[in-house]
Amino acid sequence: MPTIQRRTCDVTVIIPAWGVHADRHLATAIASVVRQDPRPRLVVVDNANERPLVAVDADIVRLGRRVSVGASRNAGLHAVDTRYVMFWDADDEMLPGTIAALLEVMDPRDVVAGVARILEEDLSDHGWPRTRFNWLARRPRVWAAVHAVTGMFPTTGAVMIRSDALRDADGFPDLDCGDDWALGVSLAVRGRGAFTPHA
């Protein structure tokens, strides 16, 4: 039987993993990423897991000691050579068509982050991005100011980020909590966001 070749794209998806998430959920997260069309490059960051991670269809970055969530994401960023990057959690599943939908909104040069809807397990809306995201994103200064006060969009999960803007922002802060919001503020002052209703 012939093998079906999927298109590849200029996107890297980074999944940091350790502990219970690596043991229970990582295989499902990886499968959901590699079945995307177009198919992104996948990098799994082994954040000093108790047993070394083995990931089929992914490059592995192994850390010698456990680091913060932000630092583990940045370790993956060092391996990125693509125009766009996404940070996926090991216990999340990427729905079909996500990469393609996000690439469609990333085209303009001033877009630093393309954001899709996020669903819970029961398929209800997660609440991020916030309902006013699309309206505010068309007003860059207001968007940046509002995001500095309250998070309007995620920087992990269903969001595609321009790699050069992420590096310019110095990546994620070395934190276990709040690293995503702090990066979002840095990105919001560097350009505008774009929204796709794709879940």
- Give the pLDDT confidence of 14-26 residue by residue, as tens digits: 999 998 778 788 9
C-beta of residue 14 within 8 angstroms of C-beta of residue 30: no
Q: Which amino acid is at 145?
A: A
Q: What is the pLDDT of residue 163?
A: 96
Residue 130 confidence (pLDDT):
65
**How far from the centroid of its chain's Cα atoms is residue 48's Cα?**
21
| pLDDT, tens digit, 9 for 90 and up, residues 138-155 | 777 877 787 777 776 778
Domain ranges of the chain: 8-196
* Overall average pLDDT of the 28-49 stretch: 95
Helix ranges (H only) for 15-162 are: 19-24, 26-34, 69-77, 98-105, 133-137, 140-149
Residue 3 above 80 pLDDT?
Answer: no
For residues 162-168, average pLDDT: 95
Q: Would you give the DSSP letter of residue 125?
A: B
Sole residue written with tokens 């997660």: 126
Q: Which of 104, 157, 152, 155 is nearest to 131 (CA)?
A: 152
Question: What are the pLDDT digits (tens) for 76-99?
Answer: 999 999 999 999 999 999 999 999
CB atoms inside a 10 Å sphere around CB 66: 12
Structural fold of domain 8-196: Spore Coat Polysaccharide Biosynthesis Protein SpsA; Chain A (3.90.550)
Token couple for 48? 């000093």
User: Whole-model pTM above 0.85?
Assistant: yes
Burial of 124 (0-12, 13-18, 19+ CB in 10 A): exposed
Token pair for residue 65?
A: 């000691």
**Residue 9 one-letter amino acid:** C
pLDDT at 75 over 70: yes
CA distance 11 to 81: 9
Q: Which residues pair with 45 in a beta bridge?
A: 16, 61
> By mean pLDDT, which of 57-71, 130-144, 172-186 is the weakest?
130-144
Tokens describing residue 138: 């068309």
**Do residues 198 and 101 lie in contact, with contact meaning Cβ atoms separated by under 8 Å?**
yes
